[in-house]
Amino acid sequence: MKAMILAAGLGLRMRPLTLTTPKPLVKVRGQALIDYHLSAFKKANISEVVINVHHLGQQIIDHVEQQWGAEFNLHFFKEQEILGTGGGIFQALSVFDNDPFLVVSADIFTDYDYEKLPQHLHGLAHLVMIDNPEFHPKGDFYLDQNGLLSLQTGKSLTYANIGVFHPDLFKSSLGSKFEMRDVLLPAIRDEKISAEHYQGFWENIGTIAQLDALNS
């Protein structure tokens, strides 16, 4: 399976740190955040990785090529303007042919084992869900008793920003800029997205306070 890291964000809530350092390169326990994902990819035998960049993007490219260029077949997509989570994936679809691919946001910190993800999909996507964190108490979607996401029934959970997607999820063009919810919501209504409830270690790094808590 090929994988993509979404790394084009501005990191506005982490300024002034992110004025000079892109969030994927922020140090967590002495190591750049993006390195944790790439190390986990290597463990899961993923050999081809796509990364989209925007803010201070060349720093990310230089770091990844220097640290991981010998480990992966790397593809970088530079966004002149931020295309959104959906648009960022959409521009890279040619890399994934017609096979399911893993997508991970660069700003999460987790011990999730990517080897456990399904290699084949019965629908259009499989999402990893977590208990609703304090900063997102209402959650995103519901997980029903059949292992499918719902907009109305089941257990309310939050999307962990880890998912396997089939390119067909994006076949209805929404233009170059759109968010993942724009394609997820119709697919959830059609019962085409499975999910799992992960209860292991997971943290979002969106603020300086969250970063400080992890590092302490």
Q: pLDDT of 104-144, one tens digit each?
A: 999 999 999 999 999 899 899 999 999 999 889 999 999 99
Picking from 133, 76, 74, the residue whose alpha carbon sits closest to that of residue 109 is 133
pLDDT on residue 173: 63
Expressed in percent and rounded to 5, the helix, strand and coil fractions of the chain are: 30, 30, 40
In percent, the amount of the chain with pLDDT more than 90 equals: 81
pLDDT on residue 214: 84
pLDDT at 16 over 80: yes
> Is the omega angle on the peptide bond into residue 16 within 30 degrees of 0, that is, cis?
yes
Give the fold, CATH level 3, of 2-215. Spore Coat Polysaccharide Biosynthesis Protein SpsA; Chain A (3.90.550)
Token reading at 102: 């893993």
pLDDT on residue 209: 85
Region 67-91 average pLDDT: 94
The pTM is what?
0.94
Q: How many CA atoms are closer than 13 Å to the CA of 58, on its beta-carbon side?
A: 0
Q: pLDDT of 144-190, one tens digit each?
A: 999 999 999 999 999 999 999 999 999 876 778 999 999 999 999 99
Q: What are the helix and strand counts (H, E) for the chain?
A: 6, 13
In percent, the amount of the chain with pLDDT more than 70 equals: 99
Please answer whether residues 52 and 125 qualify as being in contact, where contact means their C-beta atoms are separated by less than 8 angstroms.
no
64 three-class SS = helix
Return the sign of the alpha-carbon dihedral for residues 3, 173, 184, 135.
positive
pLDDT on residue 10: 86
